[in-house]
Amino acid sequence: MATAALDDSTVGTVAFGDIVVRRLGFGAMRVSGARNTQGVRDRAEAVRLCRVVADRGVNLIDTANIYGYGQSEEIIAEALHPYRGMLIATKAGFKPGKIAPGETSLPPLGHPDHIREECDKSLLRLRVDVIDVYQVHVPDPAVPYEETVGAFVALQQAGKVRHIGVCNVTPNQLATARSLCNVVSVQNRYNVGDRASESVLETCEREGIAFMPWGPLLVDGTASEILVQAAVAHHATPQQVALAWLLHRSAVMAPIPGTTNVDHADANVDAAWLELTAAELAALARPGQRSDGQ
């Protein structure tokens, strides 16, 4: 197992407003599901996982109010508070609870009253007075996007939020949010096999907005075959190649791979040292490229 820690020169840095962090982060969606060697869910193992990630030099942690029914934020606080030199980003915008049978996600809930309530809960769970980056988790079709984003702006004006980010947005929704506030980050699905958010990424590149791709390792089809070939050549895993490609793809790219396993977390961080060849980068540039269709 590698033990080298990231530094600014390993992966470069990206700015979230006035907060500068390394470009390889950690997504804490599944951290509450960490299991011990007996395969049993173990809070202590979840805390250890967060600390291992931080010890490896990762200083960008992404979570949300709904992850583990709030447990993700609690575990991060137990493991890492008072967050010296770290950026903890969290989100609100879905209705907390269990996913209904036949559904693939929770229903959106972007009403300002809900956003204000969830912000206060996240502040308590994270043990902070101000959230570094508070993200609009998803647009709610039942609520004008301006109203949802406006709730985040009001929280910022009240001193509870330092910076605002948005997630799962179209180019038009990003433009709407930017007309209301300084958007410091975007979190959309993006990986070597799914580049439907290409034009959103291009806006982020042009405007200096951090881009956190969710689902960075969810790849299949032709892209997967190329990843496997490159992984064999580098004695790496396809997931490490996918992360290395993302880090190469853009200077504003900040992948946030998540896991419940310490060894997998170590492997994800090790991807920062993987150098792909020009031929491999050219092959990976082809699969999945398509317009937003938005």
189, 195 contact by CB (below 8 A): no
Residues with catalytic function: 67
Q: 138 phi and psi, to 5 degrees? A: -160, 145
Cis peptide before 82 (omega within 30 of 0): yes
- How distant, in Å, are the alpha carbons of 72, 161, 212, 216, 233 from that of 189? 20, 24, 8, 7, 27
The crossing angle, in degrees rounded to 10, of helices 43-55 and 262-270 is 20
- In this structure, what is the dihedral angle of CA atoms 52, 261, 211, 214, given to the nearest 10 degrees? -160
Cα–Cα distance, 116 to 148 (Å, whole number): 10
Strand order through the sheet with 87-92: 26-27, 60-62, 87-92, 131-136, 161-167, 183-187, 210-211
